[in-house]
Structures are given as structure tokens and as C-alpha cells.
């Protein structure tokens, strides 16, 4: 049974992501290597973030195995915790998914060791296979293979997922050239992933809504399967189309990845994005690195949902100065302009 396709056939799926950035901001993950050791060291933090995202409207709990692959663990000299980390991430996510009724997704990411050589292909394939086996054993509904800039690497990930007979979402990270690292246009890459059996294809990470949506306009008519869009919540521009290329005129350090705050999209901008993506026929909508629960709730509400967190959605009518409620004194209302 393909739960992913069934759910998409009955409506949009909202998928909150961005676990690396959010755990880093909360002080439980180191920027740089960006390895999700938090899964083993502070499982309660990961569980809470899963719950925060579902509470805000995410339909999916994505196991936090992003960069939890053999290549990344080798970088920090901890290959020995590869399997415990993956199994624990799946366990934490599975528990939240089961208790909330959300979909459970496994996760594969770019390895950063891929290159178009026979040795690298075999190495990458083995890394994906071991992660997919653990995900399958944990009973995931589907697997997300994401942030690929090499088409071939994405197709190897997809093949590993298909071999395990699991549904797949395959998304590419489109960097500043607007093409994949291997030269394909994003629509060509998506078409290839669809032909290779992906249930959902599209883009995630790197680009903000302003520079991802125009590409989605080209991808949507190029494929027949479901399309995904999970931008980063940052104000990217035509000149600086990715979060990695953003330049802060007031500071000399590179904004990416730890000083992107001045470029953050508001929740209202993310709601606008969700409506625009929905209008383009994008069926799988989410937010990547930088996402906070407030963004996710705004997206959910833009899609016509009322997640539990909507209980606390803003109601400025009751604000002591800016409010319009009968109980707000005229004097305070008049003082509002001096705030």
C-alpha cells in the first residue's frame, strides 16, 4: 500500500523540515559538520521538535537522519554510532508519528562524497542501502531523499528506496547556477527521477520562496507525478538566489549558515508562499532549514487547516494598545501611534 500516494490523492501534504538548523539554534548541534548527534545525546530535544512541528500542522514526522550517514559520521570519527543513531532517530520519530497520527518518513541526504566514479557510486549506494534497511525495519511510510545537486546521486538513493519497496520523495537543492551540479536543468532532473519511479519530485533547501517558485512553474508541467516544494524561509533574490549566496551589507561574515537571521521570512511571507505553491499545483509543501513552528502554522493555515497550535494564533484585537476590542481604552488606542 502506498500511503504517500493515497494521502496526496486526497489533498496536500505539509512537511516540516529544518531539523539541523533548529537544533543548532537551540544549542544541541554544532554548525560546521552538522551531524545530528543530538539524536543520541538529547533525544528529548528531537522528540519535542517533532511534536512542535506536528502541533503546528506538519502531516509528517521526518526521522532526523539527515547527515546521519556513514560519510558524515566518519568526518567526526564516530562511525561506530552510525547504526544506533539511525535506529534511535527512527524510534523517536516513530513514537511521535504513532501518538499523533502523522506520517512517518525516513530520510536520506546528499553524501558529499559522491562523484561520478565507479568507486564513489558503490560507496554512496552502500551508504543509502544501510540507511534504507533501518528505515524499512522501523516501518516508515515512505523515504525522503533530499538536497541532491548530483542527479545521479539522487537516482542511486531512489534505487535503494525502490529496492526496499518503499514510496519515495526525491528533491533537489538548486544552487546559484540554476542547474544541477551535473548540468541538468531542474525540470530534466525531476523528469528523470519520475521516470525512475519517484512518487514525488521537486526542490528543497538552498532557495527561498522568491527564487524557488519560478522554477516550480517550469517543473510542474514537465512531470506528471506529484511535485514538492520546500524552500528555506529566507529572502533570497535574483542576484543572491540561495541562502548560501546571501550577503549582509552590514556585516563582513558570511550569513550562511549561522547569521541568516536578518534575511528570515516572516510567517506571513511563508503563508503567501504556500498559497502560491498550492496555486501552481504543488502537492507536497514544506519548509526547510530555518523553519520554525510559527512558519509551519502559518503555512498550515494558508492551506485551510487548523492545527492544534492555531489555538494560539495571533488575535491582536485584544492587544493593550493596538487592539480594537471594546475593553481597550481610548487613551491607549491613541497612544498606540507613539509606541
Return residues touching Zn ion (CB under 5 A): 205, 288-289
Min. distance of Cβ 317 from Zn ion in angstroms?
36
At 145, list the grid cell. Answer: 531523499
Nearest residue to 63 (alpha-carbon basis) of 38, 34, 81, 26? 38
Min. distance of Cβ 26 from Zn ion in angstroms?
16
Neighbours of 145 (CB within 10 A): 29
Burial class (CB in 10 A: 0-12, 13-18, 19+), 326: exposed
**Angstrom distance (rounded) from CA 214 to CA 117:** 33
Taking the least distance from each CB to Zn ion, the nearer of 147 and 159 is 147
Taking the least distance from each CB to Zn ion, the nearer of 24 and 37 is 24
Q: Are strands 142-148 and 168-172 parallel, antiparallel or unpaired?
A: parallel
- The span from the first CA to the last CA of the chain, in angstroms, equals 57
Min. distance of Cβ 173 from Zn ion in angstroms?
7
Q: In what order do the strands lie in the sheet with 168-172?
A: 13-16, 284-287, 226-230, 200-204, 168-172, 142-148, 103-109, 60-62
Min. distance of Cβ 40 from Zn ion in angstroms?
22
Taking the least distance from each CB to Zn ion, the nearer of 205 and 227 is 205
**Angstrom distance (rounded) from CA 139 to CA 142:** 9
Nearest residue to 73 (alpha-carbon basis) of 18, 131, 144? 131
Min. distance of Cβ 234 from Zn ion in angstroms?
10
Specify the DSSP class assigned to residue 69: S
Taking the least distance from each CB to Zn ion, the nearer of 205 and 285 is 205
Are 69 and 131 within 8 A, CB to CB?
yes
Taking the least distance from each CB to Zn ion, the nearer of 174 and 288 is 288
Taking the least distance from each CB to Zn ion, the nearer of 167 and 290 is 290
Min. distance of Cβ 250 from Zn ion in angstroms?
25
Taking the least distance from each CB to Zn ion, the nearer of 34 and 321 is 34
SS3 state at 90: helix
Min. distance of Cβ 15 from Zn ion in angstroms?
12
Amino acid at each position: 500500500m502506498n500511503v504517500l500516494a493515497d494521502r496526496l490523492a486526497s489533498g496536500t501534504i505539509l512537511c516540516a523540515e529544518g531539523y539541523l538548523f533548529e537544533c543548532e539554534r537551540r544549542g544541541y548541534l554544532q554548525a560546521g559538520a552538522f551531524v545530528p548527534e543530538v539524536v543520541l545525546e538529547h533525544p528529548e530535544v528531537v522528540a519535542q521538535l517533532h511534536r512542535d512541528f506536528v502541533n503546528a500542522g506538519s502531516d509528517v514526522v521526518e526521522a532526523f537522519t539527515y547527515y546521519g550517514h556513514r560519510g558524515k559520521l566518519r568526518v567526526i570519527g564516530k562511525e561506530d554510532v552510525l547504526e544506533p543513531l539511525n535506529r534511535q532517530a527512527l524510534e523517536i520519530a516513530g513514537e511521535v508519528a504513532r501518538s499523533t497520527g502523522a506520517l512517518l518518513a525516513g530520510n536520506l541526504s546528499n553524501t558529499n562524497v559522491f562523484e561520478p566514479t565507479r568507486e564513489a557510486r558503490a560507496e554512496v549506494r552502500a551508504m543509502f542501502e544501510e540507511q534504507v534497511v533501518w528505515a524499512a525495519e522501523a516501518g516508515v511510510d515512505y523515504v525522503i531523499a533530499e538536497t541532491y545537486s548530483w542527479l545521479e546521486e539522487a537516482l542511486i538513493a531512489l534505487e535503494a528506496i525502490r529496492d526496499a519497496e518503499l514510496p519515495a520523495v526525491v528533491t533537489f537543492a538548486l544552487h546559484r547556477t540554476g542547474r544541477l551540479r551535473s548540468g541538468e536543468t531542474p525540470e530534466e532532473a525531476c523528469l528523470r527521477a519520475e521516470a525512475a519511479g519517484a512518487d514525488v519530485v521537486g526542490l528543497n533547501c538552498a532557495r527561498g520562496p522568491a527564487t524557488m517558485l519560478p522554477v516550480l512553474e517550469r517543473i510542474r508541467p514537465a512531470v506528471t507525478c506529484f511535485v514538492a516544494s520546500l524552500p528555506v524561509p529566507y529572502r533570497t533574490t535574483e542576484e543572491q538566489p540561495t541562502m548560501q549566496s546571501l550577503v549582509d551589507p552590514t556585516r563582513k561574515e558570511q550569513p550562511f549558515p549561522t547569521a541568516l537571521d536578518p534575511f528570515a521570512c516572516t510567517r506571513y511571507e511563508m503563508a503567501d508562499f504556500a498559497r502560491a505553491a498550492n496555486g501552481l499545483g504543488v502537492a507536497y509543501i514544506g519548509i526547510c532549514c530555518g523553519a520554525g513552528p510559527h512558519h509551519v502554522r502559518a503555512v498550515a493555515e494558508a492551506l485551510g487547516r487548523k492545527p492544534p497550535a492555531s489555538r494560539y494564533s495571533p488575535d491582536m484585537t485584544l492587544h493593550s494598545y493596538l487592539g480594537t476590542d471594546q475593553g481597550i481604552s481610548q487613551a491607549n488606542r491613541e497612544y498606540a501611534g507613539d509606541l
